[in-house]
Every structure is written in structure tokens, then in C-alpha cells.
A and B are shown apart, each in its own frame.
Chain A
Amino acid sequence: MAATTRSHHETPTLTVAPAPKELEREPLVLNNRSLSWITATIAGIVEGKTPKWWWAFFIPSALVMSMCFGMIAYLISAGIGVWGLNQPVGWAWDITNFVFWIGIGHAGTLISAVLFLLRQKWRTSINRAAEAMTLFAVACAGIFPLIHVGRIWFAWWLFPIPNANNIWPQFRSPLLWDVFAVSTYGTVSLLFWYTGLVPDLATMRDRAKTKIRKFAYGFFALGWTGSNRHWSNYEKAYLLLAGISTPLVLSVHSIVSFDFAVSVVPGWHTTIFPPYFVAGAIFSGFGMVLTLMIPLRTVCKLHDLITIRHIDLMCKVTMATGSIVGYAYAMEFFIAWYGGNPYELYAFKNRAFGPYWWAYWSMVSCNVICPQLFWFKAIRQNVVIVFIISIFVNIGMWFERFVIIVTSLHRDYLPSSWGYFSPTPVDILTFVGSFGLFLTLFLLFMRFLPMIAISEVKGVTPQADPHHPLGGAKEGHH
């Protein structure tokens, strides 16, 4: 007590601490744009005349998509032998492409659900397009397991439908879990995306000039009037769907990884697979979001809405998940040695230095080395470099799945069964064709739907805050 008193006396009188300098957050919508500007800009993309560049992208994409369907028709009519896979490599580009596409979808769900629950307001400018990307990626992903079963007319056996054969799906198989994981993911993503679209569809309906547009947007707007009650129900539904989607970010790719991890193949049978696959999925998804968004904001002149800060933040997520993926690569090797299983060690040595060394090192350079450049702010904010790196991320993540699947399978248990997989033209054209499908769907989306969530972006502007000088019902500063 005495000591306290003394120190009290001896301490010089405290001066009032200087107020800390207010750290200004960079605004999410640049140039102090008004609410009406936001609506007019985003809706204007859909309402304006179809630009020439759109046709320049759409026609080739549609042709490539047709090629994809042609290849699928050929595969179904001729049989699975038109692909290069065979014993011992029974899964090759088909499952590689499936995992590649389904992984890309994950960024959409992360942005729309997880960042929503974490109140990351920057998600609003990119979530609509990222969710659309998710849906289209899931559509592309769904094709490959469907057609790889060979006799596609029996694909309905994957679902528990009572039948005269009295057979039932094998619920202990991860391949079946996959069916449910992916179909749930597709359904929830679609609902989430559509729920978010409803207020914007109503905006489009109210702005529509022609009868057909009024009808089409009005039909899907479900009679939205923007009443308080509608908004209240909407917010609840959106929050619930975000809650339902959040576990899917982790579960879907975990289950995809079980397709491999639950088996006993050296190189697949590792416990690190679920988190490693999830990180890889988010990594690849953000890679694809960047690949799509950077050209998009330029051609649609959306620099004030999808700002450098958005790109900077996405780069950071890419770098973080890319580093996790790099750590997982290292840890796989460590455990292969530390675990003392000679077959596993062989599988991993064979990955890096075996006949598929080129695939392994392509993967490492694209996935581990490339994203480390994002430590530098100058690189994160240079859209050209970011775009190039994002392409490398996409390439690297395709190679990752190829490396995991093909290099683990091509060395069977008996050296007499060893083989080497080479793709056939049908393999290659089907995969290239799936990009056609993806881009066609995405181009249709950006032509006919508001690709940025209008109402949500308005909600994060300063004007939306009633206490802001420009806020409330007043029209924003122009």
C-alpha cells in the first residue's frame, strides 16, 4: 500500500496521450460513387448492346463446348477405350479433371459463405461472379465422373433408388460419399447464388424496357417488392444458407480426398490429404477467380468496384493457401521417410524423380514458388503480373491432381504390371472442351445477370450508413 502511494507521488503527472492517428481503410467503392451510379453501372452491362468482344469470346467458347459434347458422345458410343487410361493407370485425366474443376468451385463458396460469416465486406464485389464460377465449375466437374463410369446409362445406380435388381449403393465406399458431397454442394451453391440474386433480379425487372425482359426477370424475381418483410426474410435465408455452405467448404474436398486417402495405394494412403486438398481447392479457386476477374474488370470498366484492394486481398489468400499446399508437399515427403514404409517412400521418390518428374516439378514451380511472389505488395498490385501468376496457379493445380493420381497408379505392386500413361486426343479435347463449357456458361451469366451483387455493394458504401454525412435516404455525393 505504502509503495503504491509513494510511486503515485513520484510519477510525473500523466499527460493526455495523443489520439492515435485514425487508420483509414481504403474504401471498397472508389471515387465516392453514388448508389445510383452503382446500380446503373452494373445493370448497364446487361442492358447495353452486346459488345463485340463478347461475341469474340462467346463464339469460340461455344464451339469448343460443342467439341466437348462431341467427344463425350464419341466416348459413350465407342466405349471408355478411346481414352488413354488402362491397367495399371485406371484413373487418369478423367478424375484429374474432376478434382481440378471441383476444387475451383471452392473459392466461390469460401467467398460467399465463410467471408460473409466473418463479415469481410470486401467479398461483396466479387461474390456473385465467384459463386457463378463455382456453379459452372461444379457442372464441368460433374461431367467427368459421370462419363468415366463407361456404361453411363447405369449411372443412376449411384443413387439409392429402389430397383428390381435389389441392389443398393455401397455406403462404405468414398466414391459414393463423393456423389452425395458433390450433389449437395451443387444444390446448396445454386440455392445460395439464386437467393442472393433475387433482389438484383427485381432491380433488373424494374429497369427493364421490353416485355420479354420484364417477364424473364420478373419470373425469377419471385415477386420481390423490396418491402421490409422481404428484406428481413431474405437476410435470414441468406445467413442460414451461409451457415449451411460453410461446412461444405471443408467437407466437399475432404470427401474428394477420401477417394484416394481411404484406399491403400502408396502415395494416396495419407492422413494429410483432407486438409491438404481443401487448401489446394481454395488456392486453385482463388487462382481462377483472379483469372476471370482481372480481365472482367478491365473490359467492363469496373475498376471502382473491383478495386486493386480486392485483388490485393485475393492474392493474400492465394499466397496463404499456396503456402499450406507447399507445406503439405514437404510433409508428404517427410512422412514417407519418417513413417518407414519403403513402398510409400518409393512412391514419393518416384513422383519427383521417376518418369513423371516433369509433371511433379511443373506442379512445384507453379504452386509453391509462384505464389510466394505475392509477399511483395508491388506484385500484388500489378494486375498483369497477378493475372500471369493466376494462370500458373491454375496450371499447377491441374498438375497436382495429375501427379497424385497418375504417378501413384503407374507403378503397380508388381514391376511386371508397371505402365506409363499417355493421353489420347479424345482425353485432351474433352478436357479442353470443358473449358469451353465453363466459359460459355460464364459469358452467358455476365451477359444476362448482374455479375456484381448490386444491393450488397450498396450496403458497404459509406452512404448506406445512416450516420454518415452522405448517408440515409439522401442521394449520395456525385
Chain B
Amino acid sequence: MSDIFPKWTNKLPLRLLLGVMIVGSVVTAGVTYYFTPKYTRVGYQPIQPVPFPHTVHAEQLGLDCRYCHNGVEQSWFSNIPSANTCMNCHNQVLASDARLEPVRESFRSGQPVSWVQIHKTPDYVYFNHAVHVNRGVSCVHCHGPINKMDEVYHAKPLSMSFCLDCHRDPAAKIRPPEEVYNLNWVPPENFAKDKGAKFVHDWKVNASQNCSTCHR
């Protein structure tokens, strides 16, 4: 037999096994890191027609989220304001700033500013903003520290497991409804334990895990 296979081939199966294990681990780790929304979606920050700073508006000036996104409590969709809303202030403030030209153009023509959408749910997913914000789920849960962003970026993975983490344990993430738009709110100690479950019960939070809840 030695004329067919040299002696080192005796160790070949062991080496192959080792190689398969190493390659397998590397592939598994690589897929887990690079092929999941934590990597593929988090950090997405496209260049917008206007470099709108949420940090100036929501944090320094203290505008309520609903001043611009005024449909969020009634609609499944959290609307992007039209240029009219912007011009309430910007006909006075920075009225001739070059950076705001697309807003003024939109105000004159009636054509919306072509913002680049960042947070997208796939078309087979039904997501309702109103039902979440009215039941104590704050903007920051899904959009991250948006009041601190100079320009908006994708902060959370928004994968299916991201949704399910909360739906499987809503008490841990829920907050009093009056604090939903207080983006800097920090839950008091043991809040989730003491109050979360009670809120889930009292407000009839039905964080369903049924497939058809989201995949209608």
C-alpha cells in the first residue's frame, strides 16, 4: 500500500478534521458577524439633501418629537414633515442659509424634499408606530439616541429578533406613556421589575408573538 499513499497520509484524516473544524468555526463566526443586521444595517448614514441635525432641534431647542412627526400617535406611519413645518421657524431663522435651499425650494414648489429613508421595514412586515408609542415604547428603543444625532443613522439592528426581544418581554422595555417622548428618560432603579409588569397588565399590552401579528 505504501506505493500508493506516502506515510504522511496516515495523519491526513485528523488534519482534515481539524481543518474542517477551523474553517467551520471561521465561517460560522464570519456569517454571524458580517451577515446579520447588527452589521449590515447598523451604522447606515446616507447623505441627506439637507444635513438636518436632530441634536439641535430635539436636544438643544427642546422641540417635541411630535412637533414635526405629528402623525405618530394616530398613524401606523410616523410622518416626515413637509417644508411648511420647517418654514414656521426657518422663514426667520437661517432664512438665507445655503444649506436650507432644498427646504425653501420644496416650500415654493410643493414638491417634497427627497430625503433618503433609513429605517425600512420589509414589505412583508406590518409595523404600527401609533400602537407602540401609545403603549409606552419610546422612539429611542428602535431609533437609538436620535436626539443626540447630528445626522440620522441606523442605530439598532431592527432584525426580527430585535422585535421579538421586546415582544417576548415587554415589561423590561416599557415606560410610562408620559415619558415616551422624553428621550433622555432613565428608568428608576428596579422600574422594570416593580412597574413594568403592572403596566403591561394595566394597559393591556398584548405584545403578541403570533406570526400574523406582523406578517399579515
Residues of chain A touching chain B, judged by Cβ–Cβ distance below 8 Å, are: 162-167, 205, 214-215, 218-219, 223, 225
What is the CA–CA distance of A223 and B164 in the complex, to the nearest angstrom? Answer: 52
Closest Cβ neighbor of B41 among chain A residues: A164
Indicate which residue in B4, B157, B160 contacts A215 across the interface (CB closer than 8 Å).
B4
**Contact between B37 and A223, CB atoms less than 8 A apart:** no
How many residues belonging to B are interface residues under a CB distance threshold of 8 Å? Answer: 14
**Contact between A167 and B1, CB atoms less than 8 A apart:** no
**Contact between A167 and B160, CB atoms less than 8 A apart:** yes
**Contact between B157 and A218, CB atoms less than 8 A apart:** no
**Contact between B36 and A166, CB atoms less than 8 A apart:** no
The answer to the question of B88 belonging to the interface, with a C-beta cut-off of 8 Å to chain A, is: no
What is the CA–CA distance of A219 and B159 in the complex, to the nearest angstrom? Answer: 46
CB contacts (< 8 Å) of B169 on chain A: these are none
The answer to the question of B10 belonging to the interface, with a C-beta cut-off of 8 Å to chain A, is: yes
**Contact between A164 and B159, CB atoms less than 8 A apart:** yes
**Contact between A164 and B1, CB atoms less than 8 A apart:** no
The answer to the question of B101 belonging to the interface, with a C-beta cut-off of 8 Å to chain A, is: no
Grouping DSSP codes into helix (H, G, I), strand (E, B) and loop, the B interface class, with mixed when no group exceeds half, is helix
Indicate which residue in A162, A164, A205, A219 contacts B160 across the interface (CB closer than 8 Å).
A164
Indicate which residue in B1, B10, B32, B160 contacts A165 across the interface (CB closer than 8 Å).
B160
Provide a sorted-by-A list of 10 A–B residue pairs whose CB atoms are within 8 angstroms: A162-B32, A164-B157, A165-B161, A166-B161, A205-B1, A205-B4, A218-B1, A218-B4, A219-B5, A223-B10
Interface-centre pick from A162, A164, A166, A205 (highest chain B CB count, 10 A): A164
Closest Cβ neighbor of A166 among chain B residues: B161
The answer to the question of B194 belonging to the interface, with a C-beta cut-off of 8 Å to chain A, is: no
Indicate which residue in B4, B10, B37 contacts A164 across the interface (CB closer than 8 Å).
B37
What is the CA–CA distance of A164 and B41 in the complex, to the nearest angstrom? Answer: 12
What is the CA–CA distance of A356 and B164 in the complex, to the nearest angstrom? Answer: 46
What is the CA–CA distance of A205 and B1 in the complex, to the nearest angstrom? Answer: 9
**Contact between B161 and A164, CB atoms less than 8 A apart:** yes
Given contacts A218-B1, A218-B4, contact A164 B36 (CB under 8 A): yes
Closest Cβ neighbor of A167 among chain B residues: B160
Residues of chain B touching chain A, judged by Cβ–Cβ distance below 8 Å, are: 1, 4-5, 10, 32, 36-38, 157, 159-161, 164-165
CB contacts (< 8 Å) of A223 on chain B: these are 1, 5, 10
What is the CA–CA distance of A215 and B4 in the complex, to the nearest angstrom? Answer: 6
**Contact between B4 and A165, CB atoms less than 8 A apart:** no
**Contact between A166 and B10, CB atoms less than 8 A apart:** no
Closest Cβ neighbor of A217 among chain B residues: B4
**Contact between A225 and B1, CB atoms less than 8 A apart:** yes
What is the CA–CA distance of A166 and B162 in the complex, to the nearest angstrom? Answer: 8
Indicate which residue in A163, A166, A205, A219 contacts B165 across the interface (CB closer than 8 Å).
A166
CB contacts (< 8 Å) of B38 on chain A: these are 164
Closest Cβ neighbor of A224 among chain B residues: B1
**Contact between A214 and B160, CB atoms less than 8 A apart:** no
What 10 A-B pairs have minimum CB-CB distances, sorted nearest first? A166-B161, A165-B160, A164-B36, A164-B159, A166-B164, A218-B4, A214-B4, A164-B161, A164-B37, A166-B160
What is the CA–CA distance of A214 and B10 in the complex, to the nearest angstrom? Answer: 17
CB contacts (< 8 Å) of A167 on chain B: these are 160, 164
CB contacts (< 8 Å) of B165 on chain A: these are 166
CB contacts (< 8 Å) of A205 on chain B: these are 1, 4
Name the distance in Å between A129's Cβ and chain B's nearest Cβ: 28
Name the distance in Å between A220's Cβ and chain B's nearest Cβ: 12
Closest Cβ neighbor of B157 among chain A residues: A164
Closest Cβ neighbor of A219 among chain B residues: B5
What is the CA–CA distance of A256 and B177 in the complex, to the nearest angstrom? Answer: 52
Name the distance in Å between B108's Cβ and chain A's nearest Cβ: 44
CB contacts (< 8 Å) of A219 on chain B: these are 5
CB contacts (< 8 Å) of B5 on chain A: these are 218-219, 223
Closest Cβ neighbor of B211 among chain A residues: A167
What is the CA–CA distance of A214 and B82 in the complex, to the nearest angstrom? Answer: 78
CB contacts (< 8 Å) of A215 on chain B: these are 4
> Given known contacts A164-B36, A166-B161, A219-B5, what 16 new A-B pairs fall within 8 Å (CB)?
A162-B32, A163-B161, A164-B37, A165-B159, A165-B161, A166-B159, A166-B160, A167-B160, A205-B1, A205-B4, A214-B4, A215-B4, A218-B1, A223-B5, A223-B10, A225-B1
What is the CA–CA distance of A164 and B164 in the complex, to the nearest angstrom? Answer: 10
Name the distance in Å between A227's Cβ and chain B's nearest Cβ: 12
Interface-centre pick from B1, B10, B32, B36 (highest chain A CB count, 10 A): B1
Interface-centre pick from A162, A165, A167 (highest chain B CB count, 10 A): A165
